[in-house]
């Protein structure tokens, strides 16, 4: 399969300050990557950099064969980068269904397919954005990104702050996306073991640099190493 995303020695940050250094990796269509590391090591900044919202000091980002290093966020989104930021950005005056239809772009993901993936959103389709639980908001955020028919989903801590029962529902949906739909994903997650169980590959960042890159299963199997790298209990 051809390369979908290629980061080549990416050094980026906010203004003059650098938070990512010399970051290189390649993903192919259908790859799933867990992006792990302690708080503040640059995981969110990496997703934000893919969307063109930091200052790229050095290196390049290639997407589907073209250089997008200097391309606007809007164009990256149109080119198939589906970003689900940590803040869920619900509109209180829009229903669930309106949240989905306003961003729809042609492709396999439509309302019917979304409601199959998230039956709870079908039940809540006429509820307003401010009448949803945190978990339901997260589902809307993911569903909204899917409605743009992206070629990759960038998920920033999708399980954060959610009740265990909802986490299970989300995990099922993300697993289905990755394993059955073949969706390419990068998932940033504090719950390292959960993220590793959902993905094929894992990259660990420390102070903006890649300090580990392997398949997810082998990192999951090496608990000592994982704990050292991400300091989970
Ligand atoms: N908008 C910003 N302006 C300036 N510095 C920022 C900005 N956002 C993040 N940073 C800094 O960049 C570094 C990396 O932060 P980032 O949020 O990417 O880390 P993270 O690994 O996602 O952490 P967390 O798990 O806490 O979200 C931190 O030192 C942070 O203070």
pLDDT digits (tens, 9 = 90+) for 24-75: 999 999 999 999 999 999 999 999 999 999 999 999 999 999 999 999 999 9
Closest of 126, 132, 138, 133 to residue 98, by C-alpha? 126
Which residue's CA is minimally distant from atom 12 of ligand 1?
19
Fold of 3-230: Rossmann fold (3.40.50)
CA 109 to ligand 1 centroid distance, Å: 32
Dump pLDDT digits (tens) for 126-152: 998 888 999 999 999 999 999 999 999
pLDDT at residue 131 in the model = 87
Distances (CA, A) of 216 to 32, 77, 112: 9, 27, 32
Which residue's CA is minimally distant from atom 16 of ligand 1?
42
- 8 A C-beta contact, residue 150 and residue 143: no
Prediction ipTM score: 0.95
pLDDT at residue 87 in the model = 83
Asked whether 37 lines ligand 1 (CB < 6 A), one says yes
CA 161 to ligand 1 centroid distance, Å: 18
Distance CA 77, CA 25 (A): 20
Dump pLDDT digits (tens) for 166-197: 899 999 999 999 999 999 999 999 899 999 99
| Ligand 1 atom, smallest distance to 86 CA | 27
Asked whether 40 lines ligand 1 (CB < 6 A), one says yes
Cβ–Cβ contacts within 10 Å for residue 69, how many? Answer: 17
pLDDT at residue 1 in the model = 57
The full 3-state SS of the chain, as one line of letters, equals CCEEEEEEEEEEEECCEEEEEEEEEEEECCCEEEEECCCCCCHHHHHHHHCCCCEEEEEEEEECCEECCCCCHHHHHHCCEEEECCCCCCCCCCEHHHHHHCCCCCCCCCHHHHHHHCHHHHHCCCCEHHHCCHHHHHHHHHHHHHHCCCCEEEEECCCCCCCHHHHHHHHHHHHHHHHCCCCEEEEECCCHHHHHHHCCEEEEEECCEEEEEEEHHHHHHCHHHHHHHHCCC
pLDDT at residue 45 in the model = 97
Dump pLDDT digits (tens) for 193-216: 999 999 999 999 999 999 999 999
CB proximity list for 100: less than 8 A, separation 6 or greater: 111, 114, 121, 140, 143, 144, 147
233 pLDDT above the threshold of 50: no
Distance CA 196, CA 10 (A): 24
Decide: pTM greater than 0.90.
yes
Under the phi-then-psi rule, with left for phi > 0, alpha for psi from -120 to 50, and beta for the rest, what region is 133?
Answer: beta
| Ligand 1 atom, smallest distance to 208 CA | 14
CA 72 to ligand 1 centroid distance, Å: 21
Positive or negative CA dihedral for 88, 73, 98, 156? negative
Q: What ranges do the domains of the chain cover?
A: 3-230
């Amino acid at each position: 399969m051809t390369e979908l995303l290629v980061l080549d020695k990416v050094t980026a940050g906010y203004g003059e300050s650098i938070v990512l250094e010399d970051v290189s990796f390649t993903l192919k269509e259908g790859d799933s990557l867990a992006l792990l590391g302690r708080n503040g090591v640059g995981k969110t900044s990496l997703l934000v950099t893919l969307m063109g919202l930091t200052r790229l000091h050095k290196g390049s980002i290639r997407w589907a064969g073209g250089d997008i290093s200097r391309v606007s966020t809007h164009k990256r989104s149109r080119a198939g980068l589906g970003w689900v930021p940590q803040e869920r950005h619900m509109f209180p005056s829009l229903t669930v269904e309106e949240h989905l239809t306003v961003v729809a772009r042609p492709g396999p993901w439509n309302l019917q397919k979304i409601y199959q993936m998230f039956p709870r959103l079908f039940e809540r389709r006429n509820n307003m954005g401010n009448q949803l639980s945190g978990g339901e908001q997260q589902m809307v955020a993911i569903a909204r990104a899917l409605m743009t028919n992206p070629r990759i989903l960038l998920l920033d801590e999708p399980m954060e702050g959610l009740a265990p029962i909802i986490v299970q529902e989300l995990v099922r949906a993300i697993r289905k996306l990755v394993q059955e739909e073949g969706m390419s994903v990068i998932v940033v997650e504090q719950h390292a073991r959960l993220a590793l169980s959902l993905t094929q590959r894992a990259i660990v960042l420390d102070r903006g640099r890649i300090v580990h890159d392997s398949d997810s299963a082998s990192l999951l199997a090496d608990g000592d190493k994982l704990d050292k790298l991400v300091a989970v209990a």
